[in-house]
Structure 1
Amino acid sequence: MDEELIARYLARRDPVDHPVDRIVLLGSAVIESVAVAAAAHRTYSAPILVSGGIGHSTRYLDEAIRRRGLGVDTGRPESRVFRELLIRDGVPPDEIVVEDQSANCGENAEFTRRLITGAATLLLIQDPTMQRRTHACFERSFADLPGTRLFSLAPLIPWIGTDQVGAGPETPPIWSRARFRSLLLGEIHRLSPDGYGPRGRDFIDHVDIPAEVLAAYNRLATAHPDAIRHP
């Protein structure tokens, strides 16, 4: 399935072969990211920096909070919501730093860079549809800090059902199938040289997209032209 192939590519997961100094949890509508960050905190004994203000995903996060009945105040920066959920999951408050001004992936990376004063190993956790682009943004923002190591850990590999997409068939849905398809198509475009790459908006450096992923993108875009969104 083309959607599954693209989704697995975007949901970057790196083998971590080095001690982690800081976990960077990026705000999104994917609440499952919180449990993954809390587990990583326990595994690596590393503090968590949560980055995310109010952006395009905030209303989807608020909807997910209400839909799941989590009893967390909404209408706030995504990082503030995630901080509360991390504390509920057992992460000590003094092990969490919040950056709540960024409104997109580029600012996540830029504003996080301002808070990191020396070379460190960072574990990045983001919405799986945005994990690969987030990694590219951090590579650009941290290029001036030699010795920095970046690892990505997408919180889940999306399970694609008939109408809904989530972590699995027995878990709460995260996206509708139509919205998920649109996100996939948008991400491949953004990763391209003419999207957010050097020939486009120049937010990220060149990303080599595998030929089979580009082929899947082209088939999916042809089959669903109304799903293409290039903000």
Structure 2
Amino acid sequence: MGSAVLESVEAAAEAHRAYGAPILVSGGIGHSTSFLEDALRQRGVEATTGRPESHVFRDLLTSAGVAPEDVAVEDRSTNCGENAAFTRELISTPQTLLLIQDPTMQRRTHACFERSFADLAGTTLISRAPLIPWIGPDRVSAGPDRPEIWTRDRFRSLILGEIHRLSPDVYGPRGRNFIDHVDIPAEVLAAYNELATRHPQLVRAAAT
């Protein structure tokens, strides 16, 4: 999936080299697009504004040595639910799909693909987040010596927002209906509820 996490390109290229599997990049112009453009500039890569995330990732993958004919794009989606739904339109036979996404959205993405591919028996979904976030004093990245991916404030907003979006009333059956019920670990939900009690403004901001 397109996102502002350039490490996803590295993970996809590595999987392609290891297994010879084709790559389908899903992503149009969404809430992360401007952050992707910023990430490119931070790493000295020329960034043209207003391009679908999948087109940017395709260029990065081919620059990393992946043959152009091995990279397809889906460039209409603007959220995780559409990533899954529009990808399903392009795949008509059972496949093993390795899902690579911004790790803050990996669980929701997997749930969306489970819903969209539920009718295609024999499909196997494997999630692989491209990194485990390293939380530093002033930034969040792939490690202490790696470039910034998120500011601490944005990272906090993203992970708090995920608990909200996984609820039945948002992405679930009573909301946008992109996902089925998702069990949230009790300790995660307890931490979220404690934050909601102590800092309701943070949770409200993350839910927007």
Tell me if both proteins adopt one fold, taking TM over 0.5 as the criterion.
Answer: yes
Q: Secondary structure at the match of 1:82?
A: helix
Over the aligned positions, Cα root-mean-square deviation in angstroms equals 1.3
86, 95, 100: which one pairs with 1:125? 100
Of 33, 55, 64, 1:58 maps to: 33
3-state SS of paired residue (2:129): coil
Counterpart amino acid of residue 137 in structure 1: C
1:79 matched to 2:54? The reply is: yes
TM-aligned CA deviation for residue 226 of structure 1: 2.5
Residues 80-102 of structure 1: CA deviation (Å, up to 9, x unaligned)? 00001001111111110011111
1:149-201 deviation line (CA, Å, top 9, x unaligned): 10000001111112211111111111111111111111011112233222333
Q: What is the number of equivalent residue pairs in this alignment? A: 206
| Equivalent in the alignment of 2:207 | 230
C-alpha spacing 1:179/1:200, structure 2 compared with 1 (3 Å) = same
Aligned counterpart in structure 2 of residue 104 of structure 1, from 79, 88, 91: 79
Which amino acid in 2 is paired with 1:118?
A: T
- For the residues of structure 2 that align with 1:116 and 1:200, how far apart are their CA atoms? 26
Measure the CA separation in 2 of the matches of 1:166 and 1:87.
24
Aligned-partner SS, 2:104? coil
**Does 196-205 or 80-89 show the bigger shift?**
196-205
Q: Secondary structure at the match of 1:43?
A: helix
Give % identity.
Answer: 72
Question: Equivalences for 1:182-201 in 2 at 5 Å?
Answer: 182-201=157-176
Question: Retained in 2: the 8 A contact 1:185–1:221?
Answer: no
- TM-superposed CA distance for 1:227, in Å, is 2.2
SS in 2 for 1:214: helix
Whether the aligned pair in 2 keeps the contact of 1:133 and 1:187 (CA below 8 Å) is yes
Normalising by structure 2, we get a TM-score of 0.95
**Equivalences for residues 20-59 of structure 1 within 5 A:** 26-59=1-34
Give the superposition deviation at 1:221. Answer: 3.0
**Displacement of 1:230 after TM fit?**
1.8
| 1:6 corresponding residue in structure 2 | none
- Asked if 1:215 corresponds to 2:194, the answer is no
Q: CA deviation at 1:216?
A: 1.6
| Residue identity in the other structure for 1:210 | P
Normalising by structure 1, report the TM-score.
Answer: 0.85
Distance 2:7 2:198 in 1: 30
Whole-angstrom distance in 1 between the partners of 2:83 and 2:163? 20
- Gapped runs of 5+ residues in structure 2? none
Instruction: Verify the 8 A CA contact 1:50 1:97 in the aligned structure 2.
Output: yes
3-state SS, counterpart of residue 130 of structure 1: helix
Residue 142 of structure 2 corresponds to residue 167 of structure 1? yes
Question: Could you tell me how far apart the structure 2 residues matched to 1:72 and 1:201 are?
Answer: 32
Q: Distance in 2 between matches of 1:100 and 1:219?
A: 39
1:92 aligned to which of 46, 55, 67: 67
> Structure 2: which amino acid aligns with 1:205?
D
Report the counterpart of residue 203 of structure 1 in structure 2.
Answer: 178
**What amino acid does structure 2 have at the position aligned with 1:65?**
L
